[in-house]
Structure 1
Amino acid sequence: MTTTRPDPAAPSSTREPLRVALLGCGVVGSQVARMILTRPDDIVARVGRPVELAGIAVAHVGRPRHGLDSRLFTDDPMALVTRDDIDIVIELIGGIDPARTLLLAALEHGHSVVTANKALLAAYGDELNKAAEAHGVDLYYEAAVAGAIPIVRPLRESLVGDQVTRVMGIVNGTTNFILDQMTTTGASFEAALADAQARGFAEADPTADVEGYDAAAKAALLASLAFHTRMRGDQVYREGITGITPDDIEAARDMDCVIKLLAVCQAGKDGIVARVHPALVPVSHPLGSVSGAFNAVFVEAREAGHLMFLGPGAGGSPTASAVMGDLVTVARNSVRGVAGPPQAVFDEYPILPMDDVRTRFQIRIQVRDEPGVLAAVATIFAHHEVSLQTVQQSAIEGADKADGWSATLKILTHEARESDVEACVAELTQSKAVNAAPRVIRVEGM
């Protein structure tokens, strides 16, 4: 359908307000609503036209919400997003359905959309972007990745003339807080998670965060933007942090490293890959010093070089700030009668399997402290073409030498193929010189 835009040359004082429909009024939604209602002069100064909150769709209309007019609320979101007097829809309800149906309806009615819904965008971003472009409206989602950090627009617009080769980041504040607590206090994973929940950094059900699903959705968005292609969340390799132990943290410290849950997106001549997993990062690397619930994204581009984006990655205020930034941008476009540039998709690149990824690894092996063991282990690595950079042997504190398993080998590999390391570890596990499965963790930033 064709939408009629107001004349941008008309004096601002004579223009009708831009009307906003808000879906959801939780922690972020309530912040956004209050920012719209309490900062009208600031918004007019930035947009050139008033912005008015026309309605808020919620599940429970009768629930009291301090500072918000009860007449704004409705439990019929579809009626709200398809109203002819709506200009912009802000979606903050999360999840796939009914968010997908509602946003498609809004776009088809000529309404621009601002959303923070990474799960929806990771699964159906291509469909939503095509709908926005077809109807000449905007789809903005800065708040969907890394909270208040401006990373979506730099990848989508500022770096579109460059060639981004790699994006690596800490994009989940909950897991970064947990790992930071394990590093600085010596807490177990379970204790650090309980602390995160007590402070409001983790949900009662933390699965999406600690198992890496949240970060994987964000990695899909980052890869799509950085490499101008299409990637879904289910195409991202994913591992969580539930298996990380204090021993892993200590082994990282011995290498002057810390453990972070990383989202890594890479482009090469054969294709692209996106992966989420715990990794050792040198403390000297920009990502190594990111503490607490902060997020950070490290971008490598052919011409721009290395760029670092750092800031609060979660919470009502940081996320609301990103939503408001998108709202002002979309409102400005509406006043001018234009839509912003669509997401650029230049090509469909092959998505490489995880088996073909090359990186470094730290491998810890409990072995017998006796002659010939190191040679036997080295032979297995050589057989699978995994090159060793360093090998350290240390006695296991408190080990009973009578049982033979009294030493630990800490091995740092050169860059190696994922499938070769997997095969190497499988053979080590079966070796008579090795006690139980080796501990393996990838190394990034070296």
Structure 2
Amino acid sequence: MIRIPIGLLAEKNAILFSIFTNRSVKKSMENKLYYHDAYLKKFSAELITQKEDEAGRNYVILSQTAFYPTGGGQPSDLGILNGIEVVNVEEVGGEIRHYIKEELKDGNRIEGAIDWDRRFDHMQQHAGQHILSAAFEELYGYKTVSFHLGKDTLTIDLDIETLGAVEAEKVEELANQVILENRPIHTKWVGTEELKEYRLRKQLSVSNNVRLVIIPDFDYNGCGGTHPKSTAEVGSLKILGWERQKKLVRVEFVCGQRVLDKLGQKHEVIKELTALLNAPEQDMGAAVNRLLGQKKELEKAIDEMKDRLLKYEAADMIGAGKESIISRVFQNKNIQELQNLARMLVSDAEDKIILLASENEEKLQFVFAKGKNAEGNLKEWSKQALSIIDGKGGGNETIVQGGGRLISGEEFIRKVTEFIQ
């Protein structure tokens, strides 16, 4: 996931001071229709060229476009050109490339339409990020150093090491207050002298003809993205959580329609849990704690019964073991159970060698042990046993364990018994 440093977008879109006098540069800006009207959904253009890039992807360049290219943390617009799907848009060497699923037919006239739902979502999220970052700085002086606009949520990285719940709550409250106040959101290209008049959230290395996104008396920020005309169109903002990322704090949040989407998803989960727990929403915590307590009690009872069963198995095996080696093959007994059983056996059969194996799904596991009066080198036996199943293992002088490819447990015990007798 690529995180975009704040300010990079402004620098990307900052152009030469001659924007108002250099015709080629001015025309380039005129061709970017999304800068003139972020609400433009359809447009007409002339086909300039149709090519393949180095990776063999087909793209077209148009005389003008309403498609916003990927940049500065904002994903590109998608849509159609003459009925052909646009799958990505990038600005390369000053040219806006529209990558399309298949070649356009002959003809220079192009009718384009952007995916408006996607565009407006990006406008809501990007403006919401400006508001949230400004709120963090307004209240606590916490600066945003990067952000990412994802498919489902957004994140910003704050130049701090910890964030308190009360701080996050107050910032969210201020952000939503600004949204509800329906403040205008302006965009403006400014030069060196005029730029000095604004209190920027982040200083830029480029000072000539920077595109500012302005929320009067609240936020002044260099940015080349698309934004709505007012804060009210952001709808609402909700902080979902935060976590430490190295020496920064990453805050996850959503804006606009995504808030409703998240609320809908959580509501469906709560309805399902209400039915499963047979408890109303306000009592879910108590119901879950009760179930967790019951689970712990059941697990304890199961462990006790397993221990009792192992003791019965150990007694049965000792009673039946007339030779110096006691062995048995099990089905789906885990390595810990094998170890516990082996320890029980050698505590009562101090002159015996214990060979236990279990066929567990796709692998064979084993435990070897010996009583304190038994002879033999367990580690050496373990190496030979592991070679039979191409396995790995370890242990000490009194107990070893390992596992490897699945073979018949009876065959494995037979082969081991041959080289230890």
Same fold by TM-score greater than 0.5: no
Instruction: Choose between structure 1 and 2 for higher RCO, CA contacts under 8 A separated by at least 6 residues.
Output: 1
Q: TM-score, normalised by structure 1?
A: 0.24
Larger Rg computed on CA atoms:
2
TM-score, with structure 2 as normaliser: 0.25
